[in-house]
Homo-oligomer: A and B are copies of this chain.
Amino acid sequence: MTRRTRRTSGRVTLDDVARRVGVSKITISRALREPWRVSEGLRQRIDAAIDELGYIPNRQAGALASARSRSIALLVPSLSNAVFSEVIRGVDEGFVGSGYQVLLGHTSYSREEEAHLIDTYLSFGVDGFIISGSQHTESARQRLARAGLPICEIMELPEAPLDMAVGFDHEAAGHALTTALLELGYRQLGFIGARMDYRARRRFAGWQRALNEAGLSADACLTTEAPSDYRLGGCLLGTLLERHSGLEMVCCGNDDLAAGALFECQRRGITVPDQLGLTGYNGLDITEATTPTLSTVVTPRRRIGIAAATQMLSRLENGRVTQPLQDLGFEIALRESTRARGE
């Protein structure tokens, strides 16, 4: 029955360390956050005590007191889509050594789920948001606006960014790829797409525009809202080929579909690229591994992540940012699944 109060968890606190060393707890706190303001000898005793006691700071208390959590939320549509693992890696890289913790969330391609996650992470007191895409619910926009936190929208180039943005133009990418194919001499082009989210629709639109501009038909297309995977690529290709004869080339909305389409061609004895050309989108590892390798659009996912983190950090620390809208471009990679020029 000492003067002890609640202290339900046996957890070691700043106070415990302070008592152990014989100083006040604010000194311990300082030794941790501003070591140079604490005398050498004391600092060593403090470090030793922290080690002995196994003290672990309580970030909740710290965040409550300082009104900053030193954490940011990163919201991506999917964790199973390899596209985003590179983005995540980039963001992580960008925050390494900064003292910020990245809190990861996945929205399952749902704006409602995104809105919910935004609330959740707001209640966690994150200091900023990095969010894939520009399509948010009205409610989410309001919450974010009200919170007044730094926000970086990634992957695309929003017409009206909430705050900052890093990405590239998917419509232009779709258009550029298709134009490159036209230059190779392809005239009968098809398109298959799955999980037609905003970005997927943009690249599809680019494909259509390129064909329209060339006076070619853009009718041989087949898209679905279903999640993308390898087998779906095969199915869509099969259906497309049944419906449209004479296709020389099928552009796939992403690399998974393209790989699946390639496997289907192998199953059917269709040689690629001799009988049929194939392209993907994103430049995942698999596009360089298959036989034949897959032509695709290489997107700067890792660099987007790094740039977003850098932008966010600069905003968080210095307050301002030099370039609120960054276009990181893309690269057309023509490989073995498309015929060589003049062939």
Contact = CB atoms under 8 A, between A and B. Distances in A.
Contact of A80 (B10, B11, B86, B147): B86
Contacts of A61: 60, 64
B231 A260 contact: no
A35 interface: no
Given A54-B146, A230-B285, A263-B291, A64 B64 contact: yes
Contacts of A63: 60
A186 interface: no
A327 interface: no
Contacts of A148: 10
**Tally of this chain's copies:** 2
B54 A143 contact: yes
Interface in A218-267: 229-231, 233-234, 259-260, 263-264, 266-267
A137 interface: no
Contacts of A146: 54
Interface in A279-295: 285-286, 288-291
Interface string A141-163: 01100111000000000000000
A125 B54 contact: no
Interface string A86-113: 1011000000000001011000000000
Interface in A51-80: 54, 56-61, 63-64, 67, 69, 79-80
Contacts of A57: 123
Classify the secondary structure of A's interface with B: helix
Given A8-B67, A10-B148, A56 B289 contact: no
Interface residues of A, number: 53
A124 interface: yes
Contact of A260 (B8, B11, B80, B289): B289
B234 A263 contact: no
Interface of A: 8-11, 54, 56-61, 63-64, 67, 69, 79-80, 82, 85-86, 88-89, 101, 103-104, 119-120, 122-125, 142-143, 146-148, 229-231, 233-234, 259-260, 263-264, 266-267, 285-286, 288-291
20 contacts: A11-B147, A54-B142, A54-B143, A56-B143, A58-B64, A59-B60, A59-B124, A60-B60, A60-B64, A60-B125, A79-B89, A82-B82, A101-B124, A229-B285, A230-B286, A263-B290, A263-B291, A264-B291, A266-B266, A267-B291
